[in-house]
Amino acid sequence: GDQIRLRVGRTRLSLTGGSFQAMLAVVREIPGRRFNPDEKLWEIPADVSLDSVQQAVKAAGFRLSPEGD
């Protein structure tokens, strides 16, 4: 299925469990997020906690897991 790659600090994560557009909408709600075209992932600013990202993802019904799982 679709996945969106994120990096929160040094932690690389995969967002899965929904359509690409639906998951992208959740990512776009994160303040200060920025797409890194070289690495093809979304960088989440250091002042946004991993916990808050996980809560937003869970509330939307998607899954966040360490990249490669």
Contact 25, 57 (CB under 8 A): no
Domain of 47? 3-66
Q: Which residue has the tokens 């991993």?
A: 50
- The pTM of the full predicted model, rounded to 2 decimals, is 0.89
Number of domain units in the chain: 1
Per-residue confidence in pLDDT tens, the chain, 69 aa: 899 999 998 899 999 999 999 999 999 999 999 999 999 999 999 899 999 999 999 999 999 999 876
Query: The CATH number of the domain where 28 resides is what?
Result: 3.30.70
**Which pLDDT score is estimated for 42?**
98
Which pairs with CB-CB distance under 8 Å and at least 24 residues apart come from 31-37? Answer: 36/7
